[in-house]
A and B are shown apart, each in its own frame.
Chain A
Amino acid sequence: MSALEPTCAAGLPYARRPFGHFVALLALLLALLAAFAAADWDWGALTDAERRAQAATRIAAWLVAFASPDLSPAFVRQAWELTLQTLSAALLGTALGVVLAWPLALGASRAVCVGEAQCTGKGRGFARILRHLPLRSPAALLCAVCRLVQDVLRAVPDFVWAIILVAMIGLGPLTGALALALNITGILAKVYSELWDSVDASRYAQVRSLGGGRLATFLYGIRPLAARNVLSFTLMRAECAIRNAAVIGAVGGGGLGSEIWYQVRFGAWDKVGTLILFTLLLTLVADLLSNTIRRQLRGDASRQGGSASCAVAGGVTAAACTAPPRSRMNAAPSGDAARSLAAVASASESGTRSVAVADGGARPPLSPWLAAGLVVLVLVWSLWFMGWGNRAGEDGAARNHLAPAAELLSGEAWGKLRFFERLLQPELDFAGLGLGDPAKAEARAREGKAVDLFAEHGPLEFWRPAAWWAWQQELQKWFVWRVVESAAVPLAIAVVGSVLGVAAAVLLTYPHSATFQLHAAAFSGETPAPWQRALRAVQLAAARATAVVARGVPEVMWAFLCIAFFGPGLVAGTLAIALHTLGVMTRVFGEAVDNQPLRRFEPTCGASRAATYAVVAVPRVWRDWMTYSFFQFESNVRAAVVLGLIGVGGLGFQFSFNFEWFRFERAGTYLVMIVLLTVLIDRSSRLLGLSRVGR
C-alpha cells in the first residue's frame, strides 16, 4: 500500500523515476549468469540428437498412453480410493495446520506481538534496519523466535517430518496427514502474520486509544480487518495442500503421489495417465470450489461501491479509483490467486466495515452457517475416512487408523525422538579448518585434507582468477563449504525455472486473457467475423486448458515425468519447475489483465490486439506480475530442494543421502542449510518490502 501512496495522492505518474527496476533487472541477469556458472548443467538431453530422439519416443509413448488411460474398473476403483486417501489427508492436514498456525502467527506478527505497525518506509537507513533487530525488547525476541519456528516448519521438507513421525507413531495414513499439517502450519503462520502486519495501524488505532492491550487490539482491531483475507488464503492453502498431499504419499502415507512414482518407475504409462487424470480431477475441483467461495468473498466487498471493486483490480490500478466498476468483473474467473487476493486485501478490508454495517440491519445471513456446516461435515468425513473408512492394503480388517495419535500423549513416543537427536548436532568439521581438537586437526592436515587457504595464492592476489579458483578448490576440503556449494543446485534450478516459466506465462497470458480474446471488440474498434470469434474462443480454451494442466499437476509429478523423459539431472528439474510456474503464473497474470477496465485499452484504437497487449496491458500490470513472480521464485526454491530428493541432485539429494545413511550429524548440516535458505529469502523479501500481502 505504502508504495502506492505517492501515486494516488499526487495524481502524478511518478515523482521521481524509480531505478529499482533496473537494479532488479541487473540482479536477475547476474542471478542467471551465476546459475549457469555455479551448477553443472548438462544440456545433452536436449542437444544430443540421439538422446533427444529417445526422449521424444518416451514422450510419444506417454502421450499415446495418456490418450488411452487404463480405465479398467479395478484400476479406476483403486485410483478413486487413492484420491479419497489424498483428499482426506489434505483436509485433515489443513485443519490441523490452521489450528496450530493461529497461535504461532500471533507470536510471529509484529503488529500483534510487538505492537508496532509494519515499518512503512518512513524510517530510512539505519533506523529501518534497527526495527528488524530481535533483541530490542522481549516481545520482539518472542516474535523472532516464532518466525524462526515457522521457517523451520516450512523449510524442513514434509517427508522428513514424515520419517520422524513414523518413528513416533508408526506408519499409516495419519502419519502423512500430520507431516503435511506441520508443513502447512509453517506456511499459514507466515501468511497470517503477514496479513495481520499489513493492516494499516491507523485503522485499529481507536482500539488502542481506548486502552485495549495487545490481545484486545488483535481481537477487536486487527483480526476482523484481516478476516476476509485470512479466510481466502486458508482456502487457497487447502487447495495447495491437496496438491501436496498427492506427493506426501511417497513416504508411505499412501495416496496418488506414491502410486504415480511407482508406476512411472515401471513405465506403466497407461496407469500413470489414469492417475494423473484423477490428480487433475481432484485439483481442479478444489480449484473451482475455492474459487467460487473466494469470488463470493470478493463479491461482497465489491458490491460496496466503485472504489472497493476497483481496488480488486490490483494495486496498480488503485490510482484509477474513479473508473466505474465493470459489471463483468465479478463474473470473470477469479483465479488461483492467492496472490491476486493479496491485491484484493485493500479492497476487502475497506469493504468489511461497510459490509458489517449493511448486514447488521438486514436479516441475518445464512451463508456463514452453511459454510461452517460444510466445513464440519467435510472434516468429519475425513476423520471417519482416515480412521475407519480406508482399509486399503489391510486385508480388509477393520482397524482404527487414528488410534496411533494417542501415542503422541505417551512419553514413549516422544522418547523415540532421541533417535534423531544427532540431527541437532550438525557436523561443522572444525578439524577441516584446523580448529578444535589439535590431534584431529593435525591428522587431517597430514592427509592434506585440511583447508590451507593461502597455500598457493596470498590474499593480495585477489585480482587473479586463478587465485579464486585455487581458493575455492581449497575450501572444498571443508565439509561446510561443500554444503553451502550444494545449495547452488536448487537455487540455479529455481532461478532458471522461474525465469523460463514466467517468460512462457507472459506469452501464454495473451491467448489466456478473456479481455483480448472475447471482449477485444469493445476497445479495438474492429468487428471480428464469426469465424474469427470462434477461432479466438478456441485459442482461449486451449490456453486455459494448458494452464490448468500445467498447474494442476504438482511440480514433483512434473519432475517424475521429466526425469523419465530426459533422465535425471538439472534439466529435468528445471523443466518441471518451469512448467508448474507457467501454469500458476498464467492464471495470476491473466487475472491481472482481465481485471483491467476495458476503457484502459481504448486509446490504442486501431492498433492490433497483440500490440495493445504488449504496449498497454503488460506495462499496466507489470509491477504486480513481478511481485507475484518473486513469490513464485521463493516457493520454487523450496520445491527445487525437494526435487533434489527424487533425483535432481544438490542440497536435497545430499540431505536425503546422509539421512538414509544415518549420518545424522552431516544431514543436520544440510538441514541447517535448507532452513537458512528459506530464512534468508524470507527475511530479505521482508526487508525489501516485497512481502506477499503488503500491497
Chain B
Amino acid sequence: MHQPRTASRRGFLLSTAALAVAGTLGLSARQTQAAQRPEKLIITAIPDDGDADRMRENFGALARLLGKAVGLPVEYMHVENYAASVTALATGRAHIAWLGAVTTAQARMQMGDALTVLGCRDIDKRFVSYFIANPATGLGTLSTLGELAQAAAGKGWSFTFGSKSSTSGHVMPRKFFMDQTGSTPEKVFRTVAYSGSHDVSLRMVADGTHQIGALNYASWDKADAALKARAPIIYKTPPYIDYALAARTDLGPELLAALRSALLAIDGSTPEGAQLLSYLKAGRFVGAEVGEWQQYVELLESGLDIGG
C-alpha cells in the first residue's frame, strides 16, 4: 500500500511546482496603464429600463451622436445589472457610463479621482420618486409616508423596490421612508422585494404581485394609461439629484472636453437627438460637476441601513 517515499516526494514537488507556476502566471500580471486615446469608446448604462431592445436602440443613438462629434467609433454595451455597469466603468471595460446617483457614488468610491461627470439631464437636478399602490389596498393620496406605515400595519402587504442599486427605485425612497416613519420597510411590510427595474415594479404592483412599490417618476409617466390606472400614485417624494453621464478621466482632458460639448449640443433639431431626448424625458443635457454627487458618497459611507 505504501509508496516509496521518494516517489511521493517527487510527486509532491512536481505538483507544488505546477501550482507555483500557475500562481505566478496568475499573479505576475500587472495592471498596465490604459491608453490615452482609445481606438473605440464603449458606453454602457444601468439597465433601469426593463426593455433591453429599447435601451439598445436609444443608447445606440447616443453613442452615434457622441461618436460623430468626437470622430471616434462609439459602441453601446448592454449589461444586465447595475453592478455590472459600475464594474465595467471601474475596470476600464467601458469608458463612459450612464449611471444613477447611487451608482455614480459607488463608482466614485471605487475609482476616486479617476471618475468624472460629462453632464446630466436638466430633469436630473430635481428628480422625484413615486410610491404607487394597487387599487385593492384602498389607499388614496398620502401626505407623508408615516400614514402609509400606519395603513400597512397588520395588513401583510408586500412591497417592491426596483433594482437594489437604484437611486430613485430604492435608496431615496428607502431614505425618505426611514426618515418619515422611523422604521424600515422590512419591519412594516410582509416582504420587501427588488424587482430589478422600474417598469417591472410598476407591472408587479399593477397585477397585484406586490401591493406597494416605489419607482422613479419618469418610468411611471411614460407608462400607458391603463397600467397607470391599476397602480396609482399615493405619494411623491421631495426632489433630489439623480442620473449622470460619467466617464473615466484617463480619456484625457481634450477628449473629455469634446465629449462634454457634444453632449450639451444634443437637441431636438436632429431626429436622433429628438428621439433620444424624448426617450430620456429630457429637454436637454446640462453641465455638472462630479462634486454634486458627493452627498451620495457621504450618505453611503454614513452606513445607511440599506437592508442587506
Question: Which of A's residues lie within 8 Å of B, judged by CB?
Answer: 42, 44, 54, 107, 113, 115-117, 137-139, 141-142, 145, 163, 166-167, 170-171, 213-214, 250-252, 258, 262, 265-267, 393, 410-419, 564, 567-569, 647, 654, 657-663, 666
Contact = CB atoms under 8 A, between A and B. Distances in A.
A283 B16 CA distance: 41
Contact of A171 (B29, B52, B77): B77
Contacts of B86: 662
A251 B200 contact: no
Contact of B79 (A116, A171, A393, A663): A171
A68 B42 CA distance: 41
Contacts of B308: 654, 657-658, 661, 663, 666
Interface stretch (B5-13, B112-120, B141-149, B248-256): B5-13
A214 B11 contact: yes
Contacts of A251: 80-81, 84
Nearest to B300: A661
Nearest to B87: A167
B209 interface: yes
Contacts of A166: 79, 84, 87-88, 93
A265 B7 CA distance: 59
B207 A660 contact: no
B82 A660 contact: yes
Contacts of B95: none
Given A265-B200, A266-B50, A115 B1 contact: yes
Contacts of B27: 414
Given A214-B11, A415-B30, A661-B164, 13 more contacts: A42-B190, A142-B15, A145-B19, A167-B87, A167-B91, A171-B93, A213-B7, A251-B80, A267-B203, A411-B29, A419-B90, A419-B110, A661-B306
A258 B87 CA distance: 20
B286 interface: no
B280 interface: no
B87 A414 contact: no
26 contacts: A113-B11, A115-B2, A138-B9, A142-B12, A142-B15, A142-B16, A166-B93, A171-B93, A214-B11, A250-B80, A252-B84, A262-B50, A265-B200, A411-B29, A412-B31, A415-B30, A417-B26, A419-B110, A568-B158, A568-B191, A657-B164, A657-B307, A660-B81, A660-B82, A660-B83, A662-B109
B79 A170 contact: no
A252 B32 CA distance: 27
A107 B106 CA distance: 41
A166 to B, nearest CB: 6
Which 4 residue pairs spanning A and B have beta carbons closest together?
A: A414-B29, A415-B31, A411-B29, A138-B12
A76 to B, nearest CB: 18
B106 A661 contact: yes
B79 to A, nearest CB: 6
A193 to B, nearest CB: 15
Contact of A265 (B78, B93, B110, B195): B195
Interface string B9-48: 1011001100100000011111110000000000000000
Contacts of B239: none
A262 B197 CA distance: 11
Contact of A137 (B8, B110, B208): B8
A107 B18 CA distance: 12
Given A569-B191, A647-B193, A657-B164, A252 B8 contact: no
Nearest to A393: B56
B156 interface: yes
